[in-house]
Amino acid sequence: MSTNATQLRQSGRYRARKQSGPVVIKPARAVDLKNILDPGSQWSAPFRPMGANSSATDCTMSVGTCIDMSALTSIRNIDTYAHTVTVQPGVRIGDLVSELAEHGLELSGGHDLMSRTVGGAVAGGCIGPSFGADGAFFGSQVESLKVITPTGKSLEIRNDQKNLLYAFRMSFGMLGVIYEIKLRVRPIRMFAVTHRRCSFDQFSAVAEKLAKIDVGLKFFLMPFRDRVYLDIRRSSNDATAAHRIPWKVKDWGESTVLPHVFKSISRVVPASGVRYRLIDEISKITQGLVNNRLVKSGSNSTALMSSARNGHTAESLLYSTWFFPAADFAIVVQAYREFCQRVHQESGFRCDMPTVGFRVARDDSALLSPSFDEPMIALRAISTQSKGWENFAIDFGDFARHWGGSPLFNQTREVPNDYPAQVFGSRLTFFNKIRRQFDPNNRMMNAFLSQYFL
Ligand SMILES: Cc1cc2nc3c(=O)[nH]c(=O)nc-3n(C[C@H](O)[C@H](O)[C@H](O)COP(=O)(O)OP(=O)(O)OC[C@H]3O[C@@H](n4cnc5c(N)ncnc54)[C@H](O)[C@@H]3O)c2cc1C
């Protein structure tokens, strides 16, 4: 038998013969992946790999076999001289950050939601408030990869095989299952953090400048209160070592408290006017408190370690992320406010969580990178309420396409079939060509991905 039986029984129907329905299997050893993907294996295609499954789309779904990679959690090697770390794909980013800190090292980018996996962050898109020479997407730190191809063959992709690395970063599990990842890391560096509160007009007035300068920018939009909260990070020789506690409190306020409180409020306060007034007031107070008072300096190490175990919060949130050209953002942000207000007026629906945004520097390390050609601003609309969300996601998609938005296949909802070809052009054609070479029989495709990839 090729995989650990206990794990298989826990995660789906266990069959010694060919399966007859969809299953989720959770291999406990990387070596088992080869047998699972072998064309003669007992498991049925299509195969879809899955990390923490925090994606917003159906990219991890399968009517055949879903391969849950979260049991492969070994940090194989930390090379403190070469500044690299080699890990299995199921390692949680928060756990990796803690381990690196023990050696005085950190990841080179800022990436939130620490409960997602390294494999999911490399094969999906993963952004945060990064700046400097860091790539905007998590995958840009990848030095080399080990993969089992869709036909069950082992493949190592070295650092000098640039074209293959461009394809495998953000490949959404279509080119094979990644089972080992070597990442470039660096000694811990301090940065200075400034928090600002402003109106949409004020934000719009400085948006162009902020988009052009090299800062890590994360912001929270409250379209119904005309409020924007900014978290601006820049390198600084004067920044002093930061304590972890304030970052933990900040993360707890932003990521854990708000979703839970809003869910409860929605249950007990039926009148939407009162409910949203209360929700906005709590958002305002929390943002004001955690963003303005607590944190003045940090490092990717202190800022990232906080939320290693808040996966349960992630599961309960609905979100859709679109990327807009940074050069147009001064206008887009005003239009977004009007869009949210119009949708609320017409349908009664609005997102209860603030919209989160990031400046995403130009990053051409992956063929399907939304910021391949120019810096972008990502906007992530988030709701704890499902009633009305689907229609909102469709409207948000219409809005985003009107303003030249780019999607990310695991984070963007409601993308029409023909739209990615307009946005990614020849890069999508090239990716499709590579995909067909690796997977001529579509063993790693599902209905969702087949809409966009030939
Ligand atoms: C509350 C919340 C906050 C978030 N915050 C952020 C944020 O700040 N920044 C951001 O960028 N995203 C954010 N996200 C989105 C999401 O977390 C990221 O897209 C993340 O990279 C997905 O990681 P995962 O481990 O959950 O991967 P999954 O969702 O499980 O998988 C992602 C993709 O990678 C593929 N895949 C997974 N593992 C492998 C493997 N071993 N080999 C090959 N393919 C594989 C899957 O098939 C899928 O296509 C957030 C989501 C939530 C719910």
Q: At what angle do helices 272-292 and 258-268 cross, to 10 degrees?
A: 160
Is CATH 3.30.465.10 what the domain over 75-188 is classified as, yes or no? Answer: yes
Q: Taking the model in full, what pTM does it have?
A: 0.89
* pLDDT score at 13: 39
Using an 8 Å Cβ cutoff, are 411 and 319 in contact?
Answer: yes
Mean pLDDT, rounded, for 445-453: 96
The reply to whether ligand 1 has any atom less than 6 angstroms from the CB of 317 is: yes
Tens-place pLDDT, residues 325-384: 999 999 999 999 999 999 999 999 999 889 999 999 999 999 999 999 999 999 999 998
Q: Nearest C-alpha to atom 7 of ligand 1 is from which residue?
A: 112
Nearest-atom index, ligand 1, CA of 48: 47
To test the ligand 1 pocket, which listed residue (410, 413, 453) has its Cβ within 8 A of the most ligand atoms?
Answer: 410
* pLDDT score at 241: 61
φ/ψ bin of 241: left (φ > 0), alpha (ψ from -120 to 50), beta (otherwise): beta
The reply to whether ligand 1 has any atom less than 6 angstroms from the CB of 370 is: no
The reply to whether ligand 1 has any atom less than 6 angstroms from the CB of 126 is: yes
* pLDDT score at 43: 94
More confident residue, 310 or 335: 335
* pLDDT score at 132: 75
User: Buried (b) or exposed (e) across 241-259, using 16+ Cβ within 10 A?
Assistant: ebeeebbebbbbbbbebbb
- Domains 75-188 and 191-402 belong to one CATH topology: no
**Would the CA dihedral through 310, 311, 314, 315 be positive or negative?**
negative
Nearby residues of 452 by Cβ (< 8 Å), 6 or more positions away? 409, 415, 417, 420, 428
Strands (E), 159-213: 177-184, 186-187, 191-198
Question: Quick one: which H or E segment has residue 287?
Answer: helix 272-292
Of 3.40.50.300, 3.40.462.10, 3.20.20.80, 3.30.499.10, the CATH number of 191-402 is 3.40.462.10
The reply to whether ligand 1 has any atom less than 6 angstroms from the CB of 173 is: yes
Closest CA to 119 of 34, 47, 181, 32: 181
* pLDDT for residue 437 is more than 80: yes
* C-alpha of residue 301 to centroid of ligand 1, in Å: 20
* pLDDT for residue 32 is more than 80: yes
* pLDDT score at 193: 83
User: Buried (b) or exposed (e) across 260-293, using 16+ Cβ within 10 A?
Assistant: ebbeebbeeeeeeeebbeebbebbbebbeebbee
Domain-wise residue ranges, the chain:
20-68, 75-188, 191-402
Q: Tell me the pLDDT band of 450, cut-offs 50, 70 and 90.
A: very high
Mean pLDDT, rounded, for 147-172: 96
* pLDDT score at 11: 39
Tens-place pLDDT, residues 100-127: 999 999 998 777 767 889 999 999 988 8
The reply to whether ligand 1 has any atom less than 6 angstroms from the CB of 139 is: no
Q: Give the separation between CA 301 and CA 427, rounded to whole angstroms.
A: 34
CA distances, 212 to each of 183, 371, 393, 416 (Å): 28, 14, 29, 30
**Would the CA dihedral through 221, 227, 228, 229 be positive or negative?**
negative
Nearest-atom index, ligand 1, CA of 121: 21
Looking at every residue in the chain, the average pLDDT score rounds to 86
* pLDDT score at 251: 66
To test the ligand 1 pocket, which listed residue (54, 72, 250, 435) has its Cβ within 8 A of the most ligand atoms?
Answer: 54
Q: Nearest C-alpha to atom 12 of ligand 1 is from which residue?
A: 126
Angle at 36 between CA 35 and CA 40, to 5 degrees: 70
Question: What percent of the chain has a predicted confidence (pLDDT) above 70?
Answer: 83
The reply to whether ligand 1 has any atom less than 6 angstroms from the CB of 60 is: yes
More confident residue, 325 or 283: 325
